[in-house]
Structure 1
Amino acid sequence: MASWGPKTFEDDTALDWISELVDSDDPRNFLIDSITTSGGDLDMEECAAVLAAAETIVAVLDEPRAGLPDELLDWVDENDCDDISDLPAMTLKSVKRVMGKDSELCQSWEEGEGYEDWKAEVEALYEILDSLSQV
């Protein structure tokens, strides 16, 4: 059964993303790849990767937000990531795109229940990234 909820990791694709991060030999480049979006419409997987990477960047540079899976919290505690202090600024544009009209994830939320909760979660994540980008 698929997971679906307003928090980033209430999505199976985002949960799968954690395994890829854990297996990555170069976490910084993996995060950069995850926040780098194509020029066209964003599919669900791209959107989930952007949000998962954004949550991870916040967890490493600030405090983990509520709802992060234990596997990710363990990874954050046990791994040193090359300096990623420049990534919040890079991530802002991609998170904004996830909330936009060319985002399959946003479209799905707009068509169903819980859109306002999802939007609030993503906006809160965006605000933290914005504050981290100004440090």
Structure 2
Amino acid sequence: MGAWGHKNFENDDAGDWVYDLEKSKDKSVIHQALDTVLNNQEYLEAPDCCVALAAAEVVYAGKTSDHSRVSEDVSAWLNRKHGFIKKKAITFDSEDVSKSIQAVGKILDSSELKELWEESDDFQSWVDLQIELIANLEERA
């Protein structure tokens, strides 16, 4: 895992995913990231977890207009008007929030990403960040 910090956009996998998000015109990239974790009945691999955590952060930012936890590129994507005919901002609903909460919880429960963070000095900071994300999302559910 190429990470330079414990925050959810401070890793290579999230950075690569943001590129895909920037090219998208709807929430399908976000849904795919969350569904990959939620539908996985096997071992949750770190790259999938990093992407799902970034997607959950985007849902939170989109639901609240608090862009402090996302990158400038994500903030620009959230503020961009999308759609072919009727250009409007992408909105997030309670299902998006619920999926985000479930995905973050599943990653915290058991995943390769959690195991990797357990081996670092920043493990508790990473856990606290995810718990805060869940709490923030639950306030919007």
The two structures share one fold, judged by TM-score above 0.5: yes
Whole-Å Cα distance in 2 between the matches of residues 96 and 23 of structure 1?
Answer: 28
Question: Corresponding residue for 1:118?
Answer: 126
| Partner in structure 2 of residue 23 of structure 1 | 23
Residue 125 to residue 83, structure 1, CA distance change in 2 (3 Å)? closer
* Counterpart contact for 2:63–2:91, Cα < 8 Å: no
Q: Percent identity?
A: 24
Question: Where does the alignment leave 5 or more consecutive residues of structure 1 unmatched?
Answer: none
Per-residue CA deviations over 1:116-135 (Å, capped at 9, x if unaligned) read 111111111111111111xx
2:102 equivalent to 1:93:
yes
2:136 aligned partner: 128
Count of residues paired in the alignment? 130
For structure 2, the 5+ residue unaligned runs are: 82-88
Change over 3 Å in CA distance of 1:47–1:71 after alignment to 2: same
1:1-135 paired onto structure 2 within 5 Å: 2-25=2-25, 27-36=26-35, 37=37, 38-79=40-81, 80-81=89-90, 83-101=92-110, 103-133=111-141
SS in 2 for 1:66: coil
Q: Report the Cα distance in structure 2 between the residues aligned to 1:55 and 1:83, rounded to whole angstroms.
A: 12
Structure ID, larger Rg: 2
Alpha carbons of 1:65 and 1:100: their partners in 2 closer, same or farther (altered >3 Å)? Answer: farther
